[in-house]
Structure 1
């Protein structure tokens, strides 16, 4: 009878250790594989959530823009229709009416920048629309800037004073980082400027009566361009870029047209009362 030779104890121990190492490696491979799969699933879920949020945002933005377009069309019809005829009749023969429009910031000074919104671009877009509508009323318009260039405050004031304008209007966008729920248009005038106050109040009255644009208040301020102009001056904060909905509106050309239309009505109303 042949007896099997037993392996030495040290060989048995080595085989046992190798088996344990292989088992540990297999467990590690399985663990890393499972983690990789979970990470991939999580990444896909996050991607789907982001896509869903973007779709919802675009959906509401399209609806908002369509609504703004309809309202803006109504405003343009009003301005170019009966009311425009009335304004032309009231201001006919008053060729000396002149307004200096100032698009705040410009060039290297972008003003407030919030996501896709840049204040200097919005200010200029609204000013150019204001210019067109005012000229349709027979009012001469001078711009402090008609393109993206930097201008010192002193230069803007010099233009207004040099032209001896009936009114100087500076257009800006507001921002309040502590509370993004705040929104609406605001008008400022110099404390000692009664004529500036007159125009600021007429602009705000017109906007409030139209109910097309949310307005906040009229109040005095010590801004440089208000204190140093020798002509009636108003600074208009047309809206808050810190507010999501108003920021999107201010970037919309349709809303800019509506905004310009209401501002023109207020300006003309102020001039009518002055000349009347």
Structure 2
């Protein structure tokens, strides 16, 4: 009888303990699901969801934050220690690899490898586009814009910046979608990659070098910073200019278009197809962007 009573009550107690533990776990989970603790040092708490907003405070590693809202990767947060409210770049605040945040760490950078897709296929109603071709017609611009953009993405990774690719395979992205993507994610820089082609007015052996373009006024400083950095490359500097390309004149964010050599000039193409040159471009762009964002942060 006593044994039966003990067994019955033991089962009841076990069920009660299980219910209490489950309830506690659920409450704890709900209470902490919107909390983060900053990974790097020097995380900026800003007045709005973007690098262009002023800094309200600099947060140390391990600062506890309560997430109130998410705006395309920018978190509106409240500090757990003093109730101050502001915005942080989520990819910076939650990083476990970045030790010290810098201005470029907070940046969203859109990389746009020009052209793409099979000309015999349709993409959102548009035919694929090889872009320009090498002198022998065997190699296409779309291949090297993508390879170069990937090198830039990899070079930017250690900075902590958020990098978005308009394409990462052989597909066509409608031109109007490129500035729309940059606007959607509050991009701080939109960079389009291309390789030039000599027309009838130039011989393929005479046309050589790098040209940078912008259209909107807010893209001039970005283009200038990249122009200065790309001067280190083993390629003729053709300077920078304005151009009414769709990806530039429809851009609301700072945007630039880079022509990184003449694909139908055999000498230029030898560089264009080399991994060495692509990495040189990537390192120069990373350096230029770092300088650009340092300067932009200094204006606030």
Give TM class, smaller chain: 0.5 to 0.7
Structure with the greater relative contact order (CA < 8 A, sep ≥ 6): 1 or 2?
A: 1
What's the counterpart of residue 106 of structure 1?
116
What's the counterpart of residue 172 of structure 2?
150
Rate the CA distance shift 1:93–1:264 in 2: closer, same or farther, 3 A. closer
Q: Work out whether residues 117 and 247 of structure 1, in 8 Å CA contact, stay in contact via their aligned partners in 2.
A: no
Q: Work out whether residues 235 and 261 of structure 2, in 8 Å CA contact, stay in contact via their aligned partners in 1.
A: no
Q: Work out whether residues 90 and 272 of structure 1, in 8 Å CA contact, stay in contact via their aligned partners in 2.
A: no
What's the counterpart of residue 195 of structure 2?
173
Q: Work out whether residues 100 and 141 of structure 1, in 8 Å CA contact, stay in contact via their aligned partners in 2.
A: yes
Q: CA deviation at 1:242?
A: 2.3
What's the counterpart of residue 152 of structure 2?
130
User: Does the residue aligned with 1:132 lie in a helix, a strand or coil?
Assistant: helix
What's the counterpart of residue 207 of structure 1?
230
Equivalents in 2 of 1:194, 1:89: separation in Å?
A: 34
What's the counterpart of residue 274 of structure 1?
296
Q: Deviations over 1:179-221 (max 9, x none)?
A: 221211111000xx2221101111111222x354432111111
Q: Deviations over 1:232-268 (max 9, x none)?
A: 0000011111211001110111111111111221121
Rate the CA distance shift 1:90–1:271 in 2: closer, same or farther, 3 A. farther
1:183 aligns with 2:185: no
Regions of 4+ moved over 4 Å = 88-91
Q: Work out whether residues 213 and 259 of structure 1, in 8 Å CA contact, stay in contact via their aligned partners in 2.
A: no
Q: Work out whether residues 191 and 256 of structure 2, in 8 Å CA contact, stay in contact via their aligned partners in 1.
A: yes
Q: CA deviation at 1:170?
A: 0.4
What runs of 5+ residues in structure 1 fail to find an aligned partner?
A: 1-87
Q: CA RMSD in A?
A: 1.9
What's the counterpart of residue 267 of structure 2?
245
Equivalents in 2 of 1:90, 1:173: separation in Å?
A: 36
What's the counterpart of residue 64 of structure 2?
none
Q: CA deviation at 1:90?
A: 8.7
Rate the CA distance shift 1:89–1:220 in 2: closer, same or farther, 3 A. farther
Q: Deviations over 1:87-137 (max 9, x none)?
A: x99953764211000000000211012223310000000000100111211
1:257 aligns with 2:279: yes
What runs of 5+ residues in structure 2 fail to find an aligned partner?
A: 1-97, 118-127
Equivalents in 1 of 2:104, 2:246: separation in Å?
A: 30
User: Does the residue aligned with 1:129 lie in a helix, a strand or coil?
Assistant: helix
Higher percent of residues as helix: 1
Q: Work out whether residues 233 and 280 of structure 2, in 8 Å CA contact, stay in contact via their aligned partners in 1.
A: no
**TM-score of the pair, normalised by structure 1:** 0.64
Higher percent of residues as strand: 2
1:231 aligns with 2:253: yes
1:139 aligns with 2:171: no
